[in-house]
């Protein structure tokens, strides 16, 4: 069996994700394991000007979470974060080509988590409430 990968058209995390011009959301499914990998960046809170940081000194970030059913969708359960070793952010300031770097970063996390799932890692762990 191999990991099923579904690219989706909305941000998978971050309260201001709708203000981000860069959004990727990939659902990974392997048996009963379902994980959402989400990358957001290039946030504009104002109509014009430079992009805003989405955290401390970063313009893009990637996070992963176990998925939960939300109506007809499997969306990120942000209380159940999945940890990974690949790089997870691109710092300020903005540079030409950062979207390409963000795509590469997202793909690296998807590849790492997919490989680990297929080797038997179920990503157990504590929830945000623990």
pLDDT of residue 125: 62
6: phi then psi, degrees, rounded to nearest 5: -125, 120
pLDDT of residue 104: 97
pTM (two decimals): 0.90
Residue 54 CB burial class (10 angstroms; 0-12, 13-18, ≥19)? buried
Q: What are the strands, taking DSSP E only, across the chain?
A: 4-8, 20-30, 33-43, 58-70, 73-82, 89-91
Q: Write out the two tokens for 102.
A: 């963000």
**What CA–CA distance (Å, rounded) separates 130 from 109?**
25
Residue ranges covered by each domain of the chain: 4-118
Q: How far apart are CA 56 and CA 39, in angstroms?
A: 16
Predicted confidence pLDDT, tens digits, the chain (130 residues): 799 999 998 888 887 888 899 999 999 999 999 999 999 999 998 776 889 999 899 999 999 999 999 889 899 999 999 999 999 999 988 888 899 999 999 999 999 999 999 999 999 865 555 4
Q: What is the pLDDT of residue 95?
A: 85
């Amino acid at each position: 069996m191999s990991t099923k990968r579904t690219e989706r058209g909305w941000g998978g995390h971050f309260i201001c994700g709708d203000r981000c011009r860069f959004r990727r959301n990939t659902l990974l499914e392997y048996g009963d394991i379902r994980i959402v990998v989400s990358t957001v960046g290039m946030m504009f809170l104002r109509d014009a000007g430079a992009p805003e940081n989405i955290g401390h000194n970063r313009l893009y970030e990637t996070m992963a979470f176990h998925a939960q059913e939300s109506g007809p969708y499997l969306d990120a359960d942000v209380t159940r974060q999945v940890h990974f070793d690949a790089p997870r952010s691109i710092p300020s300031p903005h540079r030409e080509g950062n979207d390409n770097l963000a795509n590469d970063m997202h793909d690296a996390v998807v590849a790492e988590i997919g490989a680990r799932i297929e080797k038997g890692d179920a990503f157990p762990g504590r929830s945000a409430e623990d």
